[in-house]
Structure 1
Amino acid sequence: MRFQELTQPRLAAVDRANTLVVVPIAAVEQHGPHMPTGTDNLICTALAEAVERNHPERVLLTPTLWLGASAHHLRFGATLDAGLDNYIAILADVARSLLDDGFCRLLFLNGHGGNVDPLKVALRITQTEYPESLLVGGSYWSVADDLLREVLDGDHKSVGHACEFETSMILHLHPKLVDHERIADAGELVPDQMHGLFVSRDMWQRTASGCTGRPNLATAEKGARLFTGLIERLDAVVERCLAEPLGVEYTDFVF
């Protein structure tokens, strides 16, 4: 089921207790010299739509929230940013809109690393107002560490920025949007960690090219394998969210 394709009466008839609302969230921002600015949006939307197709009666898919928290890319240009306070408020308001409409199982499927922290804050705020609801959020790649290790060849076997992973995914999904002649090794990334502590640096300080990792190792074939593997893992997440008990007390979750 797709939220924006349904009428009000058809939405009103959806079984609230046994439906998972999936809200894809992403970003539009610079992705180096070879990748489209909508990379995060394109990948996250494709994954979310595939999940909905696999669960057409039990997943309600909202339109992708394409604007994200992207201030750390602004110095490169080619970036649209919501601002952290605004973004937290937007996410919380979207959750409230769905919860006030009677839905009680929400999954915010994230496709941009900069959204992770504000998403957690928004869900914490909302959970205190709707403790009886299931509020789940996280990045789609968080469920696939084993898949990334298996498929990626470079020394950065994780999801970075316009990296081997993202470039492979876009080569699979939208190959015409990639500037093939400008794909290159991104060099070393300046870390945002020091002795296990977070160091706040924007991308201008961390990479010269605006991308990370080894995009030169990307292939469409890797993208296809990654896409299939991610859908398998996300399908399992959906099943778990639909089976998870709802409640407001400790005893509601202890068997």
Structure 2
Amino acid sequence: MKSRPTAVELKNISREETLAVLPIAAVEQHGPHLPTGTDAIICTAVAEQVEEQLKEKIVLLPTLWLGASQHHLRWGATLTSRVENYETLLCEICESLLKDGFRRVMILNGHGGNIGPMQISLRRLQVDYPNCQLMAASYWSIAEEEIASVMEGDCKTVGHACEAETSLIMHLRPELIRSAKVENFDDYAPDLIDGVYICRDMFQRTSAGATGRPDLASKEKGARMFSQIVKRVSDVIGHLSEEPLSHYP
């Protein structure tokens, strides 16, 4: 359904069959070369193109630009919600939909710091709405293979101001790239060592607030990656939106 419907139009769509999709992102520092709105730009673009592919199956909510970004605060240029508040915010937005009768809700994420909160928010909601289809995913986790096939650097997924994100912004909003500031930022510290999660903020993990090989990024990679992401996310969401609600007794 078009993304700016009226209340009357929304009232007339099926609560049983329509999947409500909430894109979530962040506004935070993205190294010296990408805009602070990078996550919101990419996630919104993906979500809007998915909506175009699945007009009869989904209703798209406005992108929630605020994210859980406390781990970027020491770099500055970051807006954030505390993790516990963000979990509650996601619960309240999704519950607004569920109380309105929607039985299918999906969070489509564009920021790594949102992964834990979005999963916990759905766990909290599921207790009271066990008969509803509650889903969440980052666009890169759905299109993992497609993204990896385009990447040249050792990191084959979406990091932070990395080869993938830089390529996508080169494709979507090339005028926002500070090309002279693009470097090799492959000196970042991992957050998983021998299966152990090491909790460090981005100031501790990076030398410039960016990761990976944005110096390998290109507009052509971004275009190819974006097209493949949209197709894969559309295919997956389309398939899941047809899952019988009888699976949620």
Quickly name the TM-score band, shorter chain normalised. over 0.9
Extract structure 1 runs of 4+ deviating beyond 2 A: none
Report the equivalent of 2:14.
15
Q: Which residue number in structure 1 is paired with residue 215 of structure 2?
A: 216
Match for residue 203 of structure 2?
A: 204
Paired position in structure 1 for 2:99: 100
Structure 2 letter corresponding to 1:160? G
Instruction: In structure 2, list runs of 5 or more residues that go unmatched.
Output: none
State the TM-score, normalizing by the size of structure 2. Answer: 0.97
- Where does the alignment leave 5 or more consecutive residues of structure 1 unmatched? none
Greater mean deviation of Cα atoms: 229-238 or 40-49: 229-238
Within the alignment, does 1:186 sit opposite 2:154 as a pair?
no
SS in 1 for 2:106: strand
Aligned residue for 1:65? 64
* C-alpha distance in 1 between matches for 2:17 and 2:42: 27
Q: CA deviation at 1:248?
A: 6.7
C-alpha distance in 2, partners of 1:52/1:128?
29
Deviation (angstroms), 1:113? 0.3
Q: Distance in 1 between matches of 2:22 and 2:7?
A: 18
Q: Residue type of the partner of 2:224?
A: R
What is the alpha-carbon distance in structure 1 between the residues aligned to residue 95 and residue 77 of structure 2?
31
In structure 1, the residue matched to 2:122 is: 123
Provide the C-alpha distance between the structure 1 equivalents of 2:191 and 2:7, rounded to a whole number of angstroms: 46
Instruction: Answer yes or no: is the 8 Å Cα contact 1:2–1:62 preserved in 2.
Output: no
CA distance in 1, matches of 2:38, 2:18: 28
Q: Is the 8 A contact 2:147 2:229 kept in 1?
A: no
Q: Alignment partner of 2:245: what SS?
A: coil
Q: Which amino acid aligns with 2:69?
A: S
Secondary structure at the counterpart of residue 154 of structure 1: coil
The CA deviation at 1:185 is 0.4
Deviation at 1:243, TM superposition (A): 1.4
Equivalenced residues, count: 249
Structure 1 window deviating more from structure 2 (51-60 vs 173-182): it is 51-60
Matched residues in 2 for 1:141 and 1:187: separation? 20
User: How many angstroms apart in 2 are the aligned matches of 1:182 and 1:221?
Assistant: 19
- 1:80-131 per-position Cα deviation (integer Å, ceiling 9, x unaligned): 0011111000000011000000111111000000000000100000011100
Aligned to 1:38: 37
C-alpha distance in 2 between matches for 1:233 and 1:79 = 30
Please give the residue correspondences for 1:159-178 in structure 2 after superposition, counting only pairs within 5 Å. Answer: 159-178=158-177
Structure 1 residue 187: deviation in Å? 2.8
* Aligned equivalents of 1:47, 1:209: Cα separation in 2: 27
Matches of 1:149 and 1:41, distance apart in 2: 21
Aligned partners of 1:20 and 1:241 also within 8 Å: no
Could you tell me which residue of structure 2 aligns to residue 81 of structure 1?
80
* Counterpart contact for 1:105–1:241, Cα < 8 Å: no
Q: Answer with 186-195 or 208-217: which moved more.
A: 186-195
**SS class of match (2:127):** helix
In 2: Cα distance, 1:247 partner to 1:120 partner: 22
Identity of aligned residues (%): 49
RMSD (Å) for aligned C-alpha atoms: 1.2
